[in-house]
A and B are shown apart, each in its own frame.
Chain A
Amino acid sequence: MTIVLRIAWRNLWRHARRTWLTASAIAFSAMLLVFMITLQLGSYDMMIDTTLRVYTGQMQVQRLGYKDKRQMRTTVPDAARLAERLRVATGLDAVAVRAQGFALASSVERSYGVPVIGVQPEFERGVSTLPHLVKTGRYLSDSRAQELVLGSALARNLKLALGDELTLLGSGKDGSVAATVLPVVGFFESGNPELDRRLVLMPLAVFQEVFAMGDDAHTIVITGPSYESIPLTNAKVSALIADQPELTVLDWDELVPGVKQLIQTDMVQNWITYIALIVIVTLSIMNTFLMNVLERTREFGIMLALGASPARLAALVMLESVFLTLLGLVIGIAVGGGIAVYYHFAGFSFPGMEEIYAQFGLPGVIHPKLSFASFTLGPAVIFVFTVLAALNPALRIRKLQPVEAIHAV
């Protein structure tokens, strides 16, 4: 270790109590940031995962233009076969075909305009939680079953009971009248009012027949094992459909941009709080550094007389600030990281959280996200701010006049 490094390190311990107090402030803010950011990222993952798992899936293959203008004729040709090829290429079972139409749904008493979705029940369980959210009755049995499942709120509005028949009247892909009457075998409750109030599900083959779709469908929904696997899966899917330029693969953030915007807004709000915390800590650290330099003016004067350049002394002060900051950050990351690891496995919750989250169909506990970024992002910002805080005292040293400094008390 060079003498300059030794001076920097030992200077920290000339006022051990002051050093520990400052390091504690840094450690506390680092700990708070590590835990808060892991929790924040964990909640985002949970929000994305939950949102996507209910219905949207992580990505979808569609015909170009379908996302913006949902026309019956904008279809994926021979969708079931393409889905099968995608299962093989990606190694995923969670690949399901859907077709969507619009119909007037009429019970004996009431009628509503609703979206009707044709699904593959045998694969839908992999891409959507709706099959698991059927609270009354059961889910669709197979692709050819002549039956319907709908949202519980819609059922209430239509005054339907299990086993009642629902009449659907719409128009097919070719413009023909699409009409059918099918019994209702189940009601789902997703927690998403939009889905519960509107959605009608029917087997894909039945849908294709009623709406004159042939083998076509509108979307192929794909869900990988994890959020992190999306880019890789996307690459595989894109490669497979490369020979069909009329098709496109859309990621979740394109399918449900609102979720991403919500996350971005939340991130900005949280970071404003974090920065306020960091600025307060930085000001106290700046005070410590200033006192440190002022107390040692004579010592700096002696060093200047001995031939040390002002730049080297400024570097010494910066080095001391780096040591002090790293000391605090290491402690903060260790403690904050430890808490994050504990809650990653145990799950984090607070009183009332489960009830609030349940309203949105979210799990009642958050698992903080453990990643290099979540552990280092906050501390890195603290590091930058504290080093900037040391710039002021360091620049003061550069202005020191040796004669005045040597005679300073």
Chain B
Amino acid sequence: MTEHTVILRNVSKVYHQNTLAVQALTDINLDIPKKELACLSGPSGSGKSTLLNLIGGLDKPTSGEITVDGQRVDLLGKAELAALRLHKIGFVFQAYNLIPVLTARENIEFVMQLQGISAAERRARAMDILKEVDLTGLEDRRPGELSGGQQQRVAVARAIVSEPSLVLADEPTANLDSKTAQALMELLVHMNQEHNVTFLFSTHDRLVMDFSRRLIKLHDGRIVDDQRRT
């Protein structure tokens, strides 16, 4: 039987703007198996980011059930959600998602420190992952001293270093040139294979879709297509 990292059942999300109710997601049912490399695509306002936020426990669904790695996310409180994100979910955002006052290595160590990992182990693991993302020698640079591509590599390293079950990446290539974006996607595919982590992207970028093994299309808050690619 296939094990699933993410299971969504009848998930809906309604935002209230003043007196207006905006239906962001409607009746989403989705299973994402372990080690999947899936991509949410669709036009702006289709609900990609909303769905990613709900799966990541950054927001709560209006109705429906969300299960991540066997845990019902929609039932968790603030502190439990923080713990879930800390231990089971890694995030990569569009840009500017590193802590500016920390070096590349410290940014990677940050999550491990929250997890209570010892300083020596944190450092060793951070250096290993920096080597894996080809940033050896740049570990003491702060985000402002790194290129956009290098910053995204650090973000990927930070997302993966604590060995989560799931990495959520919201438009990871949005601010990168095509060459850098290609390199980043190759890195993410490599991480997916080497670390057995499930990846779920939201994107407009054709390149990201090309690298994904599963393409889930959203439109007006509904899944309109779900294709497995070879």
Contact = CB atoms under 8 A, between A and B. Distances in A.
Interface of A: 2-4, 6-7, 10-11, 14, 298-299, 302-310, 312, 401-403, 406
A406 B50 CA distance: 13
Interface stretch (B108-116, B176-184, B196-204, B205-213): B108-116
Contacts of A306: 85-86, 91, 110-111, 114, 158
Contact of B97 (A302, A304, A309): A302
A407 to B, nearest CB: 9
Nearest to B78: A310
A305 B101 contact: no
Given A298-B96, A403-B58, A307 B102 contact: no
B110 A3 contact: yes
21 contacts: A3-B110, A3-B113, A6-B101, A6-B106, A7-B99, A298-B96, A299-B100, A302-B97, A302-B98, A302-B99, A305-B56, A305-B85, A306-B86, A306-B158, A307-B86, A307-B114, A308-B82, A308-B86, A310-B78, A403-B53, A406-B93
Contacts of B84: 307
Contacts of A310: 78, 82
A321 B100 CA distance: 19
Contacts of A3: 102, 106, 109-110, 113
Given A3-B106, A11-B101, A303-B99, 7 more contacts: A2-B113, A3-B113, A304-B85, A306-B158, A307-B86, A309-B79, A309-B82
Contacts of A403: 53, 58-59
Contacts of B97: 302
B95 to A, nearest CB: 11
Nearest to B170: A406
Contact of A402 (B58, B86, B158): B58
B87 interface: yes
Contacts of A11: 101
Which 8 residue pairs spanning A and B have beta carbons closest together?
A307-B86, A10-B101, A307-B85, A402-B58, A309-B82, A403-B59, A3-B113, A305-B91
B83 interface: yes
B228 to A, nearest CB: 29
Contacts of B109: 3
A10 B114 CA distance: 18
Interface of B: 53, 56, 58-59, 78-79, 82-87, 89, 91, 93, 96-102, 106, 109-111, 113-115, 158
Contacts of A4: 113
Given A3-B110, A6-B106, A307 B101 contact: no
Contacts of B113: 2-4
A394 to B, nearest CB: 16
A304 B93 contact: no
B58 A406 contact: yes
A397 to B, nearest CB: 12
A300 B59 CA distance: 15
B101 A308 contact: no
Among A2, A3, A401, chain B packs the most CB atoms within 10 A around the CB of: A3
Contact of B111 (A307, A309, A402): A307
A310 B86 CA distance: 13
B102 A7 contact: yes
Given A4-B113, A299-B99, A403-B59, A307 B53 contact: no
Contact of B102 (A6, A304, A402, A406): A6
Contacts of B93: 302, 305, 406
A312 B109 CA distance: 16
Contacts of B79: 309
Contacts of A305: 56, 58, 85, 91, 93
A305 B57 CA distance: 8
Among A302, A307, A308, chain B packs the most CB atoms within 10 A around the CB of: A307
Contacts of A298: 96
A301 to B, nearest CB: 8
Contacts of A309: 78-79, 82-83
A2 B113 CA distance: 8
Nearest to A301: B58
Contacts of A307: 82-87, 89, 111, 114-115
Given A305-B91, A306-B85, A306-B91, A312 B78 contact: no
A333 to B, nearest CB: 27
A320 to B, nearest CB: 11
A303 B115 CA distance: 13
Contacts of B83: 307, 309
Contacts of A402: 53, 58-59
A396 to B, nearest CB: 15
A11 B98 CA distance: 14
A203 to B, nearest CB: 80
Contact of A14 (B85, B86, B101, B115): B101
